A = this chain, B = another copy of it.
Amino acid sequence: MNELGLDTSTILKWLVNDGYTVVACNIDVGQEEDWEDVEKKALAVGAERMIIRNKQKEFVEDIVFRSIQCNAIYEDRYLLGTSLARPVIARELVSVAKEFNCDFLSHGCTGKGNDQVRFELAWHALAPGIKIIAPWRIPEFIAKFQGRADLLEYARVNNIPVSSTPKAPWSMDANLVHCSYEAGILEDPNREPPKNLWTMTVDPVDAPDKPYHFSIDFLKGIPVKVTTEDGKEATESVELFKLLNKIGHDNGIGRIDVVENRFLVDLEGLTLDSKVRELRDTFVTTAWSRQLYNGMYFSPEREFAENSVIFAQDGVNGTVKMMAYKGNAYTVGRSSETSNLYSEEDASMDSLDTFSPLDTSGFIAIQAIRLRKYGEAKIAQGKTL
């Protein structure tokens, strides 16, 4: 299991009371936690052990960078934050379970969301035959805990330490790439989110009045170096990602769109063949994103899609110069030493070297054959275009 709030503590205690020996486990994918406190609490509630594993590097390199190569986006706006972390967490939980010879895997996901699906499908692929305990889908458990009051009462009776500060009226999912919220007062789509909700970005209104410049180097579609106007530099994957997050935070970027993902687009215009890009956009971007969203990371179809994207990104190498300002990241330049498909000379309307304007007449004439028939048919039918 992952995280340790009132729900999770209750599940832990309930499992212990039911006779299970519990190895509690938390995977650090960049969320803010007081890990020492988490461990102390888990042991106090009754866990045999509390395992905490830092998987930030795997998260960034295996999954987040791949999502950048895919320009992954779900339903044309959702950048998949939660879904991205699930495969890394699921894989490490299986690894820990094997290490400690566990007979069961359990999680605290509610019975109505997508996360239970993502974890369990991953586990079925990673450890075929494993037995899974999903308390929020066990009739007796549901019957016992029908509301927050039941959980608090169970905590009181079982000496589970409960945070004295009242919980915010929403649940939160955070990792290196995002922090998202759901439930409670947020369910009304017509209500603006409360100011104090945002943890990863300052309000653009409060962001610096001065633009901030930095640049990103890409190799095979993956960011490999970030350099900033005030001399910061990062090349290691997690550090690099955290530096970008810091720039985003300070300048109020990403409250709606995680603009980082868009860096690539500009470089692809320079380095990726247009037809390969069309196939990648049509095929891989959508397919990979849906696979991640639906918990199908450990699947033959994800392997198939990923093989394509890695192939396509082989020449996406170069540097993107950026500027952050008041909620936006602006591209102010891009270049590629090795794979520049773009030629200033070709693009110039004055150059006649690569092809002749006369060629275009034939190009149009060939395509017009079909359209002329279409126009003639419309006229014959008495219709206008």
Contact = CB atoms under 8 A, between A and B. Distances in A.
A335 interface: yes
A166 to B, nearest CB: 17
Interface residues of A, number: 117
- Interface majority SS (helix, strand, loop, mixed), chain A: helix
A330 interface: yes
Interface in A265-306: 265-266, 269-270, 273-283, 285-287, 296, 298-301, 303-305
A157 interface: no
B183 A127 contact: no
A76 B262 CA distance: 10
A142 interface: yes
A120 B360 CA distance: 11
A91 B372 CA distance: 15
Contact of A362 (B269, B281, B361): B361
A165 B365 CA distance: 38
B304 A307 contact: no
A192 B332 contact: yes
Contacts of A124: 364, 368, 371-372, 375
Interface string A174-196: 00000000110001111110000
Interface of A: 71, 75-77, 91, 110-113, 116-117, 120-121, 124-129, 134, 136-137, 139, 142, 147, 171, 182-183, 187-192, 204-205, 209, 211, 255-256, 262, 265-266, 269-270, 273-283, 285-287, 296, 298-301, 303-305, 307-308, 311-312, 321, 325-328, 330-335, 339, 341-342, 344, 346-350, 354-377, 379, 385
